[in-house]
């Protein structure tokens, strides 16, 4: 089985991150940037290596970016990947253009399974996997926390949120996007990385000029900013109250919402509780 893993180098989250409004991207404030392998991509690499260890085959790591991005390929080779391809380019394209460039390399590799992280730590849009599946005309399974291969199909466990899981099957070849928790990555020592020869990385020039206009400029970022804080909604005071009473309620923080009371027991006990409640509220008088 041939597996291709798409990796991305991102700014280290432990550093100070700021927004570059000129490029609309998240960058590091330090004069000497520190980069790391995107955590979901690291999990995707670990999933690929475990699948090959169980079923046999090869793992090829692919990345797109400047020359310093080659560090993630060295890390993948040190971890156990069989090959690496570097699409070298200084310009940071948008998701459709990334997918178009990656698809050119992946068509030549002809993998049975393509793995990548569901989103990057810097952009975080989670669009590359969908655009890549579209470019290659392959099925996509996203948000996976578990991946298995059974014969000619992939069995994936998807995270639906709030603890819910969904198990789906998909014929191979396919594109599978995994979350950070899909697999705990093994530690790759500095010594192991130093033993990897840079000559094992195949370099290919990433040329955006070869793309159509729709692929190169399909998505544009108009603005990036902090999360908008939503104030807590308070119920409005009764308009039938006097102006002074409404003003007093506003100064006190609004009208507090009433909370329901749940009663249980036999029918007679429930009736007694309801009657007592209505009497306490002044709705019933004895």
pLDDT at 254: 53
Q: Residue 251 pLDDT more than 80?
A: no
Q: Higher model confidence: residue 272 or residue 91?
A: 272
pLDDT at 116: 94
- 5-41 per-position pLDDT tens digit: 999 998 887 777 787 777 777 777 777 778 888 999 9
Q: Taking the alpha carbons of 189, 195, 196, 198 in that order, is the dihedral positive or negative? A: positive
Domains of the chain: 2-216 (3.40.50.620), 231-286 (no CATH)
Q: Given the structure tokens 């804080």, which residue do they identify?
A: 229
How many Cβ atoms from other residues are within 10 Å of residue 45's Cβ? 31
Q: Could you tell me the two tokens for 283?
A: 């709705």
Tell me the β-bridge partners of 267: none
Q: Given the structure tokens 């994936």, which residue do they identify?
A: 156
Cα(134)–Cα(106) distance, rounded to whole angstroms?
Answer: 13
- Residue 61 parent element (H or E): strand 58-65
- Beta strands 35-37 and 153-161 are unpaired
Q: Residue 225 pLDDT more than 90?
A: no
Q: Higher model confidence: residue 171 or residue 97?
A: 171
pLDDT at 217: 58
Q: Higher model confidence: residue 5 or residue 183?
A: 5
- Using pLDDT thresholds of 50, 70 and 90, give the confidence band for residue 124: confident
pLDDT at 167: 95
Phi, psi of 275, rounded to the nearest 5 degrees = -65, -45
Taking residues 86-99, what's their average pLDDT?
A: 84
Q: Could you tell me the two tokens for 77?
A: 């080779």
- Beta strands 113-117 and 174-178 are parallel
Phi, psi of 245, rounded to the nearest 5 degrees = -70, -40
Helix (H, G, I), strand (E, B) or coil at 105: helix
- 158-169 per-position pLDDT tens digit: 998 888 899 999
Asked if 111 and 138 touch (Cβ cutoff 8 Å), the reply is: no
pLDDT at 188: 85
Distances (CA, A) of 91 to 10, 216, 221, 269, 286: 15, 11, 15, 73, 81
Q: Higher model confidence: residue 216 or residue 149?
A: 149
- Using pLDDT thresholds of 50, 70 and 90, give the confidence band for residue 211: low
Cα(182)–Cα(172) distance, rounded to whole angstroms?
Answer: 19
Q: Could you tell me the two tokens for 50?
A: 């475990």
Region of poorest pLDDT, from 49-53, 78-82, 189-193: 189-193
Nearest residue to 142 (alpha-carbon basis) of 182, 184, 92:
182
- Using pLDDT thresholds of 50, 70 and 90, give the confidence band for residue 219: low
pLDDT at 93: 80
The DSSP code sequence of 137-166 is T--EEEEEEEEEEETTEEEEEEEEETTEEE
Query: Mean pLDDT for the chain?
Result: 85
Cα(206)–Cα(100) distance, rounded to whole angstroms?
Answer: 10
Q: Residue 113 pLDDT more than 70?
A: yes
């Amino acid at each position: 089985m041939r597996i291709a893993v798409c990796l991305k180098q991102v700014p280290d989250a432990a550093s100070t991150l700021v927004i570059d409004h000129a490029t609309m991207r998240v960058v590091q404030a330090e004069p000497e940037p520190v980069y790391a392998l995107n955590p979901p991509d690291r999990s995707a690499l670990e999933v690929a290596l475990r699948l090959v260890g169980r079923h046999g085959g090869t793992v090829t790591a692919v990345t797109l970016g400047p020359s310093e991005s080659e560090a993630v390929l060295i890390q993948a080779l040190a971890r156990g990947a069989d090959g690496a391809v570097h699409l070298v380019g200084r310009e940071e394209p948008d998701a459709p253009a990334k997918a178009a460039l990656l698809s050119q390399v992946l068509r030549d590799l002809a993998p049975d399974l393509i793995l990548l992280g569901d989103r990057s730590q810097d952009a975080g849009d989670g669009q590359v996997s969908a655009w890549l599946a579209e470019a290659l005309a392959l099925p996509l399974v996203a948000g996976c926390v578990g991946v298995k291969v059974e014969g000619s199909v992939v069995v994936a466990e998807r995270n639906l949120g709030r603890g819910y899981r969904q198990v789906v099957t998909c014929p191979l070849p396919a594109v599978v996007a995994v979350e950070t928790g899909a697999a705990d990555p093994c530690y790759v020592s500095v010594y192991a990385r130093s033993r990897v020869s840079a000559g094992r990385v195949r370099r290919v020039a990433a040329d955006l000029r070869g793309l159509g206009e729709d692929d190169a400029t399909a998505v544009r970022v108009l603005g990036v900013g902090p999360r908008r804080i939503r104030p807590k909604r308070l119920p409005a005071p009764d308009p039938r109250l006097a102006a002074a009473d409404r003003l007093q309620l506003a100064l006190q923080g609004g009208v507090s919402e009433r909370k329901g009371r749940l009663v249980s027991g036999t029918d007679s006990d429930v009736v007694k509780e309801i009657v007592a409640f209505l009497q306490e509220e002044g709705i019933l008088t004895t």
